[in-house]
C-alpha cells in the first residue's frame, strides 16, 4: 500500500513537471522563480501523497488513530506502552496473579489474608525498628479511599453495563439479522473456548492480547494494512466463487410482487 502511494506521488510529480515545462514563458522566467515554483510543487506533491496515505492506511475504514480508539487517556497509554515502566508493571502484576491462582492453586480469600499478614508484619517491624533506632515512632500514613473515587468507578461500571444491555436489546429486537447471527456465533464460540479452559486463563489471554496486538499494529501499521487488504480481496474472491457454485444453485420459490 505504501508502494502504491509512492508510485502515485511520483506519477503526479512527473505530470506536474511536464505541464510546467509546456507553459508559455517558462524559459523567460528567472532561475529564482523556477526554484520557488519547484519547491512549491514538491510541497504540494508531498502533501497530496500524505493525504493519500492518511486516507488509504486505515483498517476497516478507521478514521481515528489507534490511541484515540482506546479512549486517549491513561488506559490507552498503558495499552500502547507510552510509559514502559507502568505497562510492564501492569503486565507483571497480571502474570503474577494468574500464576498464583492458576498454577499454584491459590484462593482469593487466602491470598488476601496472606497479603494483609505480610503488610501488617512489615509495617509493625518498621514502626518498632524506627522507634528503637531513632527514639521516636515512625509516621505511618493512613490509607483512605474517597467517596468520589467510588462514585466514579460505580458510574463507569453502570455506563458499560447499560451499553451492553443496549447492544443486546438492539440485537434481540430483530432489526438486523446479520448482527444477530454474528453475536450468536461469537457467544457460541466463546462458550466452547470457556468449556476448554478456566475463566482466569481466558481473561489472562485476553489481557495479553490487549497489551500486545495494538502495540504491534501501531508499530507495523503499513505492513498490516497491506496484508489485510490482500486478505480481504481474497475473501471476497472466494465468496464470489462460493456464491456462483453453491448459493446460486439453491432453488428458491417465486417472489411475490411488492405492493406499494
Contacts 24+ apart (CB under 8 A), 87-90: 87/211, 90/211
pLDDT score of 33:
46
Report the share of the chain in percent with pLDDT over 90: 11
Q: How many domains does the chain have?
A: 1
| 41 within a domain of the structure (yes/no) | yes
- On whether residue 48 sits in a domain, the answer given is yes
The b-or-e profile of 155-186 (16+ CB within 10 A means b, else e) is eeeeeeeeeeeeeeeebeeeeeeeeeeebeee
79 and 54 in contact (C-beta within 8 Å)?
A: no
Would you say residue 201 has pLDDT above 60?
yes
Mean pLDDT confidence for 203-216: 90
How far is residue 77's CA from residue 67's CA, in Å, rounded to a whole number? 8
Per-residue confidence (pLDDT) for residue 208, from 0 to 100: 92
Q: Could you report the per-residue pLDDT of 52-100, keeping only the tens digit for each?
A: 444 444 555 566 777 777 767 777 888 888 888 999 999 999 999 999 8
Q: How far apart are CA 170 and CA 49, in angstroms?
A: 41
Which span out of 87-101, 134-148, 212-226, 231-245 was modeled with the highest average pLDDT?
87-101
Residue 94's pLDDT is 92
- Phi and psi angles of residue 207, each rounded to the nearest 5 degrees, phi first: -65, -40
Residue at 28 is within a domain: yes
Instruction: Report yes or no on 32 lying in a domain.
Output: yes
CA distance 156 to 164: 12
Mean pLDDT of 172-189: 86
What value does the mean pLDDT take over residues 244-259? 65
User: Is 138 within a domain?
Assistant: no
21 located within any domain: yes
Q: CA distances (Å), 16 to each of 10, 19, 51, 113, in order?
A: 10, 5, 17, 74
Provide the grid cell at 12.
503526479
- Summarised one tens digit per residue, pLDDT across range 18-49 is 555 544 444 444 444 455 555 555 555 445 44
Rounded mean pLDDT of 190-194?
87
Give a yes or no: residue 167 inside a domain.
Answer: no
User: What cell numbers appear for 200 in the block?
Assistant: 482466569
Does 11 fall in a domain? yes
- The residue among 79, 104, 33 whose CA lies nearest residue 206 is 79
Q: What is the pLDDT of residue 55?
A: 43
User: Helix 84-98 crosses helix 199-219 at what angle (to 10 degrees)?
Assistant: 160
Name 222's Cβ contacts closer than 8 Å, sequence gap at least 6.
Answer: 1, 2, 57
Host domain of residue 28: 2-56
Half-sphere exposure at residue 184, Cβ-oriented, CA atoms within 13 angstroms: 9
d(CA 89, CA 95): 10
Amino acid at each position: 500500500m505504501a508502494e502504491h502511494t509512492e508510485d502515485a506521488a511520483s506519477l503526479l510529480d512527473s505530470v506536474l513537471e511536464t505541464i510546467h515545462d509546456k507553459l508559455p514563458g517558462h524559459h523567460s522566467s528567472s532561475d529564482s522563480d523556477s526554484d520557488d515554483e519547484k519547491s512549491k510543487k514538491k510541497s504540494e506533491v508531498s502533501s497530496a501523497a500524505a493525504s493519500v496515505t492518511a486516507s488509504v492506511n486505515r483498517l476497516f475504514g478507521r478514521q481515528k488513530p489507534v490511541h484515540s480508539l482506546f479512549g486517549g487517556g491513561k488506559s490507552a497509554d498503558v495499552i500502547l506502552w507510552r510509559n514502559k515502566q507502568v505497562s510492564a508493571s501492569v503486565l507483571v502484576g497480571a502474570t503474577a496473579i494468574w500464576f498464583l491462582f492458576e498454577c499454584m492453586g491459590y484462593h482469593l480469600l487466602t491470598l488476601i489474608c496472606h497479603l494483609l499478614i505480610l503488610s501488617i508484619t512489615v509495617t509493625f517491624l518498621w514502626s518498632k525498628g524506627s522507634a528503637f533506632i531513632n527514639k521516636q515512632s515512625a509516621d505511618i500514613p493512613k490509607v483512605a479511599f474517597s467517596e468520589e473515587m467510588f462514585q466514579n468507578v460505580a458510574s463507569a461500571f453502570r455506563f458499560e453495563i447499560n451499553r451492553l444491555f443496549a447492544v443486546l436489546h438492539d440485537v434481540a429486537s430483530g432489526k438486523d439479522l446479520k448482527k444477530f447471527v454474528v453475536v450468536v456465533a461469537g457467544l457460541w464460540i466463546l462458550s466452547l473456548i470457556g468449556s476448554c479452559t478456566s475463566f482466569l486463563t481466558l481473561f489472562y489471554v485476553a489481557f495479553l492480547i490487549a497489551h500486545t496486538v495494538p502495540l504491534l499494529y501501531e508499530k507495523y501499521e503499513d505492513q498490516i494494512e497491506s496484508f489485510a487488504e490482500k486478505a480481504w480481496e481474497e475473501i471476497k474472491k472466494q465468496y464470489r466463487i462460493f456464491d456462483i457454485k453453491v448459493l446460486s444453485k439453491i432453488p428458491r420459490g417465486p417472489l411475490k410482487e411488492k405492493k406499494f
